[in-house]
A = this chain, B = another copy of it.
Amino acid sequence: MDILRLLKDLVIPAETKIVLLVMDGLGGLPQQGNGKTELETARTPHLDRLAKTSSCGLLDPILPGVTPGSGPAHLALFGYDPLKYRVGRGVLAALGIGFKLQPSDVAARINFATVDDRGRVTDRRAGRISNEENTRLIRLLEDIQIPGVKIFLRTVKEHRAMLVLRGGDLSGELADTDPQQLGVPPKDIVALNPAAEPTTKIVRQFLDQARERLADEHSANMILTRGFDRYEPLPSFQELYGITSAAIAAYPMYKGVARLAGMEALGAPGSLAEEFDILEQHYNDFDYFFVHVKQTDSSGEDGDFARKVSVIEETDRWLPKLTALQPDVLAVTGDHSTPAVLHSHSWHAVPLLLYSRFSRPDAASAFGESECARGCLGRFPTMHLMGLLLANALRLTKYGA
């Protein structure tokens, strides 16, 4: 039984609002043995007070032991089985910058790079060229013509750009041409299965023409491609859950994954203050809000325990602005763990706090990994959180007689 199909069958209308506050990479580890995690070290009076009247638990983003990327981790938060619904970086990048992908489009990420006179990569990021230089180079490439296929190119940021191919029966099953090391030439474009062979021919033509056009450029004389993926729209929040939904996120990647679920990405927040302002301004316009805090993850990836603590504390200070809106259901969690001691995403379960009028209180008396382990929600796969949010919002009817 497909879980999404089950939820869809059970959905009923209601006048309730759900807010999901995601602190990216929230879960952590103690810096010293037996010490406290980043979240447990942070002074979070508002989250702790909320935890006391909430149901708490721990989420497994994918499966015990499996460390997720941001894409599958967020798909799971939105109720999609991350082992069934897979979305590549190319598609997320395109959606992230607001490019209107059409079904069956194939998208990839591009790096502008430099190669020496024997074609060996000397800088995979072309010295992080400026956005302006990126745009100038894109203009050199954007009228490349390949019969039967439309090509779209967009500047993303610095050395990064987006390629989209449209038309015919294209495949996204293509390997990266980025060799991920210096001193070797870019890889040839290779199909990951036989059905993708025709698409390799198209991409190869594009790459050949791009190389010719960039040959005499000094800032970047090569492009590298990564994360090819074919866009197949997911069933949207509106279709599945009968709710209007919005995302408040500063980073393109998270806007992308939210748009994949049919959310509207609101504004261009540059700070937490702006994110919570946008939430307040649009609070009457949607049933569901996904609010994304990025810096918990990036500080964790930098191995900066203290900065991660301080981002959590800053988020806590903004919490009263959120709770003042009195959402019917409020969940606070992460998409995955990013312990500073690991400098990376990890497999550790993620603390969860779920508040509604009908959330059963439990023994968890603060918001932290150890306290959440005592919570009444136990430990469960992230993909089931969406059902709990809808249930607490009284948006699901009974299953069976």
Q: In the complex this chain forms, how many copies of it are found?
A: 2
With contacts A65-B387, A401-B71 taken as known, whether A370 is within 8 angstroms of B379 at the C-beta atoms is no
Minimum Cβ distance to chain B for residue A217 (Å): 29
Whether A374 contacts B374 by the Cβ 8 Å rule is yes
Closest 10 CB pairs of A and B: A65-B387, A378-B379, A72-B400, A65-B391, A1-B83, A69-B400, A89-B401, A65-B388, A347-B391, A373-B376
Whether A396 contacts B69 by the Cβ 8 Å rule is no
Whether B6 contacts A63 by the Cβ 8 Å rule is yes
Minimum Cβ distance to chain B for residue A210 (Å): 23
Question: Does A18 sit within 8 A of B, measured CB to CB?
Answer: no
Partner of A377, one of B341, B379, B397: B379
With contacts A342-B358, A400-B72 taken as known, whether A376 is within 8 angstroms of B227 at the C-beta atoms is no
Give the CA-CA distance A65 to B383 in the complex, in Å.
11
Question: Does A64 sit within 8 A of B, measured CB to CB?
Answer: yes
Question: Does A68 sit within 8 A of B, measured CB to CB?
Answer: yes
Give the CA-CA distance A223 to B241 in the complex, in Å.
35
Whether B401 contacts A92 by the Cβ 8 Å rule is yes
Whether A29 contacts B349 by the Cβ 8 Å rule is no
Whether B398 contacts A58 by the Cβ 8 Å rule is no
Whether A387 contacts B66 by the Cβ 8 Å rule is yes
Of the listed stretches A30-38, A145-153, A180-188, A268-276, chain B binds: A30-38
Minimum Cβ distance to chain B for residue A17 (Å): 17
Chain B residues whose CB sits within 8 angstroms of the CB of A65 once the complex forms:
7, 384, 386-392, 396
Whether A37 contacts B68 by the Cβ 8 Å rule is no
Chain B residues whose CB sits within 8 angstroms of the CB of A379 once the complex forms:
377-380
Whether B63 contacts A3 by the Cβ 8 Å rule is yes
Question: Does A159 sit within 8 A of B, measured CB to CB?
Answer: no
Minimum Cβ distance to chain B for residue A293 (Å): 20
Give the CA-CA distance A63 to B86 in the complex, in Å.
23
Question: Does A10 sit within 8 A of B, measured CB to CB?
Answer: yes
Give the CA-CA distance A398 to B89 in the complex, in Å.
14
Given contacts A86-B400, A363-B370, 18 further A-B pairs with CB under 8 A are A29-B360, A30-B361, A33-B361, A58-B376, A65-B388, A65-B392, A69-B398, A69-B401, A339-B358, A342-B358, A346-B391, A347-B388, A347-B391, A349-B378, A362-B370, A363-B373, A378-B379, A379-B380
